[in-house]
């Protein structure tokens, strides 16, 4: 293969398996099962760089994925996820020297949930909080508690909207949606200006976690760029940020990188990323394993999934293509309840509605949520057993 890695430029690139198709938008819900099953699909054709571990979808077509105000991607209904956001906000605020006001910028701020978290943790220290996101649903320039949220991309042309030069810049769960991640970070770096002394934090899924855990349901069309710790540090350096330090958070599922606009650089980590081989066999084993689990559970009663997010969408597409094993999906996000998933067309129910169908087994999409899922299920009167996908 003569392809080059878009992050490190290495030319040892390996295909991760045969191309397959998946719904384009994993977080959109539909008004009927038919509309869900007819949802537009795109091709997953992932390749990995053997040098830095960056993994990307070579078949990705950005023109097929539109992030508009209909985009629903709010995980903040989960207490475990809120705890995680709180911990990240504490990381950011603790890094700004006491006595210095916080001028906060978020790129890809969604509906401003994390900005609210930052304001909460910082108390009165936030002097300005500005967010940019093409999916922002509120009035342009108006967010909660004095923050300013813009339905725009952050780039040199929109940087003039910042009331103060930011000292804390965060971009969470955004870079994996971008087909040119180095270009994305370079745009942020240049929009901040040559004299910026800001720190930047980047949060994104860890592809090493996905591969080590054989989490085949974690490859999505929207996530066209997946990082290892090494490749995220490399992308930050290439974009002009200095001294990147990457840690694992959220039970290892996410990378959390911190880097600087100014100062000295550090030495790149010499740690080799995991071996990348074809995932063809892993994917086949994954599908066979969970199909046999679901068939056995189906013999004993109604089978449901817990979690109508991207993992639930891809799991149901991979494991139940004939729509005869899974009855419904439970989700605590009211914006999804009463609607139907893309791909499988499965109905999304509240825990209380699910209890009426008396599920015998519920497969829980994210093991990080198992404790709160157990509690919510019990309160809703669900007596079936809960099995985490891990």
Chain residues binding Zn ion by CB under 5 A are: 5, 7-8, 10, 49, 51-52, 54
Residue 333 and residue 316: Cα distance in Å, rounded? 18
- Taking the least distance from each CB to Zn ion, the nearer of 52 and 202 is 52
Nearest to 119 by CA among 136, 144, 82: 144
Beta carbon nearer to Zn ion, 10 or 388: 10
Burial readout 318-328 (b: 16 or more C-beta within 10 A, e: otherwise) = bbbeeeebbbb
Cβ 250 to Zn ion shortest distance, Å: 24
> Would you say 54 or 154 has its CB closer to Zn ion?
54
Nearer residue to Zn ion within complex by CB, 16 or 377: 16
Smallest distance from Zn ion to CB 12, Å: 8
Integer-rounded Cα radius of gyration of the chain: 21
Phi, psi of 79 (to 5 degrees): -65, -40
CB closer to Zn ion, 110 vs 181:
181
Q: How far is the CB of 129 from Zn ion (least distance, A)?
A: 35
Q: Which is nearer to Zn ion, 49 or 200 (CB)?
A: 49
**Contact present, 135 and 74 (Cβ < 8 Å):** no
Smallest gap, in angstroms, from Cβ of residue 265 to Zn ion?
18
CB-nearer residue toward Zn ion: 10 or 101: 10
Min dist CB 181 to Zn ion, Å, is 11
Going by C-alpha positions, the residue among 345, 344, 380 that lies closest to residue 362 is 380
Length of the chain: 390
Find, among 291, 334, 323, 319, the residue nearest to 36 by Cα.
323
CB of 156 to Zn ion, least distance (A): 27
Q: Is residue 320 within 8 Å of residue 344, measured between CB atoms?
A: yes
Please say which residue, 48 or 109, places its beta carbon nearer to Zn ion: 48
Shortest separation between residue 16's beta carbon and Zn ion, angstroms:
14
Alpha carbon distance 134, 150 (integer Å): 8
Q: Of 348, 262, 368, which is closest to residue 305 (Cα–Cα)?
A: 348
Q: What are the φ and ψ backbone dihedral angles of 300, each rounded to 5 degrees?
A: -95, -10
To the nearest whole angstrom, how small is the minimum distance from the Cβ of residue 48 to Zn ion? 8
Q: Helix, strand, coil % (nearest 5) of the chain?
A: 35, 25, 45
- Tell me if 325 sits within 8 A of 294, measured CB to CB: yes
Q: How far out from the chain centre does Cα 314 lie? A: 14
């Amino acid at each position: 293969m003569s392809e080059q890695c878009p992050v490190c430029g290495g030319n040892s690139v390996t295909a991760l398996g045969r191309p397959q198709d998946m719904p384009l938008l994993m977080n959109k819900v539909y008004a009927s099962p038919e509309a869900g099953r007819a949802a537009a699909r795109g091709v997953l054709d992932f390749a990995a760089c053997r040098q830095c571990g960056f993994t990307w979808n070579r078949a990705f077509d950005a023109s097929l994925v539109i992030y508009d105000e209909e985009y629903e991607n709010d995980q903040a209904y989960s207490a475990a996820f809120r705890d995680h956001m709180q911990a990240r906000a504490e990381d950011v605020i603790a890094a700004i020297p006491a006595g210095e006001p916080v001028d906060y910028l978020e790129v890809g701020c969604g509906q401003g949930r994390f900005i609210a978290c930052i304001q909460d943790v910082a108390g009165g220290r936030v002097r300005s909080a500005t967010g940019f996101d093409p999916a922002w649903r509120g009035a342009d320039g108006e967010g909660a508690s004095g923050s300013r949220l813009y339905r725009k991309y952050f780039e040199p042309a929109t940087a003039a909207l910042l009331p103060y030069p930011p000292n804390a810049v965060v971009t969470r769960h955004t870079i994996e949606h971008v087909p040119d991640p180095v270009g994305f970070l370079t745009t942020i770096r240049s929009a901040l200006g040559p004299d910026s002394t800001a720190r930047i934090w980047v949060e994104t899924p860890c592809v090493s976690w996905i591969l080590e855990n054989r989490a085949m349901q974690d490859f999505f069309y929207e996530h066209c760029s997946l990082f290892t710790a090494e490749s995220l540090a490399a992308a930050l350096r290439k974009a002009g940020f200095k001294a990147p330090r990457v840690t694992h958070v959220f039970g290892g599922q996410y990378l959390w990188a911190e880097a600087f606009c100014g100062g000295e650089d550090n030495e790149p980590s010499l740690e080799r990323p995991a071996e990348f081989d074809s995932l063809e066999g892993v994917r086949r084993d994954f599908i066979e394993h969970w199909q046999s689990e679901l068939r056995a559970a189906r013999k004993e009663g109604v089978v449901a999934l817990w979690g109508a997010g991207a993992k639930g969408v891809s799991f149901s597409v991979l494991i139940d293509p004939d729509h005869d094993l899974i009855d419904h999906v439970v989700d605590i996000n009211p914006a999804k309840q009463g609607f139907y998933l893309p791909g499988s067309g499965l109905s999304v129910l509240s825990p209380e509605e699910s209890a009426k169908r008396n599920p015998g087994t519920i497969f829980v999409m994210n093991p990080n949520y198992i404790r709160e899922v157990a509690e919510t299920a019990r309160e809703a009167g669900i007596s079936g057993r809960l099995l985490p996908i891990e």
